Amino acid sequence: MVEKYSPMVQTMTSLLEVENLRVSYSARTGEVCPALSGVDFDLGYGEILGVLGESGSGKSTLAAALLRLLPAGGKIQQGSILFEGRNLLRASPQELRKIRGGRIGLISQEPSCSLHPTLPAGQQVSDVLAAHENLDRRALRQKTGHLLASVFPGDSERISRSYPHELSGGQRQRVLIAQAIACAPSLVVADEPTASLDPTTQQEILQLFRTLRQKLGLAMILITHNPALLAGLADRILVLYAGRIAEIGPSAQVLYSPQHPYTAALLRCLPSHLAEPPSTRKARLHVIQGEAPDLSWHGNGCQFEPRCTERMEVCKRDEPPAAAVSELHEVSCFKFAG
């Protein structure tokens, strides 16, 4: 008989603690490529952590590893993922089924690939509830209606009857959000939830996240390649490069006073603010010089060294350790190594 999953939140100071997480993928040639290399971080109750990085940095791998949903060829080599006092890497398949969708909600990048094309939106939210809660048909219908009303004020009945192809991209994303919060999880992992949306709809979704956090006390891991989306929303930001943490700290410090050369370079790639003089608005955008890191490389040194404008000789030989630049702000760079 499988032990029923029960969170042990009363003994934990953090909702989530990830320690020395190492994930790799095996290629068809048999070559093993590291995707995450010794990732460490924690997440408090009700906290929003932004995970920032370029494509290939390991952001989506991190999301999949937290839920143990790595694709074929992916393997967690080492580490621990403590969630509500339980190590998810030791959880049984039965326990994981209760946790996924029940205690941890997931919002994927592309809603058109996550929603069933032949089922109305209301049924797809109802199915999540039915999988985790013992509700009769009337209670299931009522709770589904309340959930959709929380993300579609004034339009929930029409949305409930609609099929995915009848909804806009933003509306489909809101259906995924309703699924993610259906069972009142303590954590929601959102993997590039606004990547396929226009700027106006992006801001509407981000405002919905703020509202849900305030009402439900949700903790969230918000994964994105766009630093601008995290301003005013994330409490802390974790910057990934080549599967390693380059920088982690309070949002304002990381965004407005970045310490790692990669973070600074990434932020310089943002378009100029509209407040700048008109003569500068058509200036060429900055880019990070050099090639994206080769994850099959197993040599020594800092992965960002070939692209770094501040590199030193030691950067070629050794991997930089994490160094504290303030009480809550850490950077993996030899500029700060004591």
Residue 224 belongs to what domain range?
13-103+183-275+285-332
Quick count: other Cβ atoms within 10 Å of Cβ 165? 10
- Spatial contact of 329 and 287, defined as CB atoms under 8 Å apart: no
Reported as a pLDDT band with limits 50, 70 and 90, residue 272 is: low
- Looking at the fold, whether 232 and 178 belong to one and the same domain comes out as no
- Domain end, chosen from 129, 160, 182, is at 182
The residue whose two tokens read 């809550």 is: 328
- Looking at the fold, whether 198 and 265 belong to one and the same domain comes out as yes
- Looking at the fold, whether 199 and 168 belong to one and the same domain comes out as no
5 in a domain, yes or no? no
The number of distinct structural domains making up the chain is 2
- Looking at the fold, whether 226 and 99 belong to one and the same domain comes out as yes
Bridge partners for 48 per DSSP:
220
Higher pLDDT, 120 or 32: 120
- Looking at the fold, whether 211 and 301 belong to one and the same domain comes out as yes
6 in a domain, yes or no? no
For 159-176, how does the pLDDT look when each residue is reduced to its tens digit (9 = 90+)?
999 999 999 999 999 999
In eight-state DSSP terms, residue 99 is H
For 115-141, how does the pLDDT look when each residue is reduced to its tens digit (9 = 90+)?
999 999 999 999 999 999 999 999 999
Lowest-pLDDT range of 53-62, 203-212, 274-283, 290-299 = 274-283
Quick count: other Cβ atoms within 10 Å of Cβ 188? 23
Model confidence at 291: pLDDT above 90: no
- Looking at the fold, whether 64 and 188 belong to one and the same domain comes out as yes
Structure-token pair, residue 77: 């080599």
Structure-token pair, residue 140: 């299931």
Can you say whether residue 172 is alpha, beta or left, with left for phi > 0 and alpha for psi between -120 and 50 degrees?
Answer: alpha
292 in a domain, yes or no? yes
- The separation between CA 215 and the C-alpha centre of its own chain, rounded to angstroms, equals 21
- Looking at the fold, whether 92 and 207 belong to one and the same domain comes out as yes
97 in a domain, yes or no? yes
- Domain end, chosen from 116, 149, 182, is at 182
- Looking at the fold, whether 176 and 197 belong to one and the same domain comes out as no
7 in a domain, yes or no? no
